[in-house]
A and B are shown apart, each in its own frame.
Chain A
Amino acid sequence: MKIVVAMRQIADLVEELEVDASGADIDREFVKFVSNEWDEAALEEALCLKEAHGGEVVVVGVDDVDFDQTLFGALAKGADRAVKLSCGFEGWMPTAVRAEILARWLKDEAFDLVLTGVQAADDLDGQLAGVLGARLGLPHAAVVVGLEPDGEGFKVTQELGGGVTLTSHATGPLVLGIQAARQAPRYVPISRIRQAMSAGGIEEVEVEAPAARAPRVTRLFAPEAKGRAEMLGDKPSEVAARIVELIRAKGAGVS
């Protein structure tokens, strides 16, 4: 079984995001970029499948900021190959462009599954699994929380909301947007990542950035504070007293 995992970087949402001078993109100069957390779930699921059933895991993605770190992390965790598609693209990359770049590379690769994260925090023009699935002409499914080989194909479980899940049998190859892996993404010690770095091993492929139709962002802005919370300060003892008072005033809970 050969599993391709499509990964990418995303602005770290823990940090404050600022809008750049154009007014239509985040200021990419000062923000930290990290691996998309749902892609990490996709990688974990791929590694678990490989451990249980054998096969090969190939991690691939467009050369985003600090993407090497994500690729070395994936190699340290057990991926067999790591591929970086370099195209010199700068700024916000629409999903349609990312899907086109990946599709062009995938046409020369045989695979059973392409796994990627269910979403990314800036996929304004749609989630990758569906767009890539359509571009490759393959069945696809998103919000996937379960995946098992089953006869000639795979059993795929998706979440439908409200805790209801749907299990289907699909014949591959498939493109799946992973919501959660069967276990939390594994931790890999920094020493193993360093080993992967010194061993090298990232395959770099030059690609052209294709043109694709995507919405034109005219303005990026912080949401208007509508029902902004009344702030209680940040001194724990005072805040705690106020919270207890507020809960008691509701006549609920506190004895």
Chain B
Amino acid sequence: MAENDVVVIAERVVGGYPDVTFELLGKAKEIASALGGEVHCLVVGDSEGHECLGASDHLHLVEGEHLWPYNPHAWESAISALLSELNPRLVLASTGTVGIDLCGALAAQSGAMLASYVVDLSVQGSSLMAVAQLYGGKLMAECDLGDGPAFVTAIPGSFAGLAARVDGVADPIAHRHDGAEVRMRHVALTEPEKTGVDITSEEVLVSVGRGIGGQSNIELAQELAEVLGAGLSASRPVIDQGWLPKAHQVGKSGKKVKPKVYLALGISGAPEHLEGMRQAELIIACNTDATAPIFEVAHYGTTADLFDLVPEILDLIGG
């Protein structure tokens, strides 16, 4: 029965399929099995590498004008058309570009429920129940998505234990969608500039967040990085404020780093940031807010003020 089916939107806008695609497929299998439905996976645009999506019962490959490289308006039109054919109970995507770009619109168009930033999902009775991360990860919301169609965008890593990468797809189903009404045209896809700064190769990173307060204080962190023989990195707000160039950014939209030591100064630990640094071997976090989510992933923490702490460290190691 289609109304019990689960659809996974496979997001591959550059490179290969990200881990989250397989995590969503694993969760989709679990939910579909509880509902008595099947799993569909949608691939839009270039279908290269689709063989790894064999965990789905049905793989749909949608080709058409303007669908590659990623084009939000064309993708929305193509996905919307296919979803109205499939009429599923649940659509799963990640909170990446496609999830944030399209799921709100797709859910609104079809009158479906939507939960964003989801970290857990289950079937309880006739309802879908989700747990979502709100307020920058400070609170969790358990919510009831009811017994009708729903969209869920999940935070990467949430269903890691269920990841289902299965090579080999029997019979992918080809679709064609040439939306004549597409009002966006591709201009360019730009890779990050090579700046000579490579925070992914550093053994130690001194990383600054909003708590650094302003551009003039970056110098203090730079000095600490120098005496520690470390690289200097930052979280999103520091980059958005223009206090450091983009090449220094750690997080989902920046670089993923795995240094031996990650010293987080004035970083609260938004999900976008944690995704980029949680695999560091040793994480030491300094934040005056004892409830900051960074302390959930850090091995060691302190609520000392970074402007008191950093000079003390410099004194100790002769800065």
Contacts and interface: CB of A to CB of B under 8 A. Distances in A.
Contacts of A169: 184-185, 187
Given A124-B134, A215-B144, A240 B313 contact: yes
B207 interface: no
A139 B295 contact: no
B123 interface: no
B109 A255 contact: no
Interface stretch (B83-91, B169-177, B279-287): B279-287
Interface stretch (B28-36, B43-51, B114-122): B114-122
A18 to B, nearest CB: 9
Given A162-B14, A166-B13, A221 B143 contact: no
A121 B104 contact: no
Contact of A215 (B111, B130, B281, B316): B130
Given A141-B72, A236-B309, A246 B103 contact: no
Interface in A54-99: 95-96, 99
Nearest to A171: B183
Contact of B142 (A163, A219, A231, A239): A219
A161 B253 contact: yes
B191 to A, nearest CB: 6
Given A234-B303, A254-B229, 9 more contacts: A126-B107, A127-B100, A155-B187, A221-B139, A223-B139, A227-B299, A229-B300, A240-B315, A246-B300
B301 A229 contact: yes
B124 to A, nearest CB: 10
Interface stretch (A107-115, A130-138, A197-205): A130-138
Interface of B: 13-15, 69-73, 96-97, 100-109, 111-117, 129-130, 132-146, 151, 153, 183-192, 203-204, 227-230, 237, 239-242, 246-247, 249, 252-255, 259-261, 263, 268, 281-286, 289, 291, 293, 295-305, 308-309, 311-313, 315-317
Contacts of B184: 139, 141, 156, 168-170
A218 B313 contact: no
A13 B268 contact: yes
17 contacts: A124-B132, A124-B143, A127-B100, A130-B104, A158-B72, A161-B252, A163-B253, A170-B184, A217-B143, A220-B134, A220-B141, A229-B299, A236-B312, A243-B309, A244-B316, A250-B281, A252-B203
A232 B56 CA distance: 47
Given A133-B105, A179-B240, A244 B100 contact: no
Contacts of B105: 130-131, 133-134, 140
Contacts, number: 300
Contact of A125 (B101, B114, B303): B114
Nearest to A242: B300
A229 B13 contact: no
A228 interface: yes
A223 B317 contact: no
Nearest 8 CB-CB pairings of A with B: A163-B192, A130-B104, A126-B104, A240-B312, A229-B301, A253-B204, A134-B105, A215-B143
A167 B142 contact: no
Contacts of B298: 229
Contacts of A123: 116
Contacts of A41: 240
Given A161-B96, A163-B191, A225-B296, A121 B135 contact: yes
B253 A167 contact: no
B301 A130 contact: no
A241 B314 CA distance: 10
Contacts of A254: 227-229, 317
Contacts of B317: 244, 254-255
Contact of B190 (A131, A165, A179, A240): A165
A225 B115 CA distance: 23
Contacts of B69: 166
A242 B237 CA distance: 28
Contacts of B308: 236
Contacts of B311: 236
A126 B305 CA distance: 35
A225 B301 CA distance: 14
B117 to A, nearest CB: 7
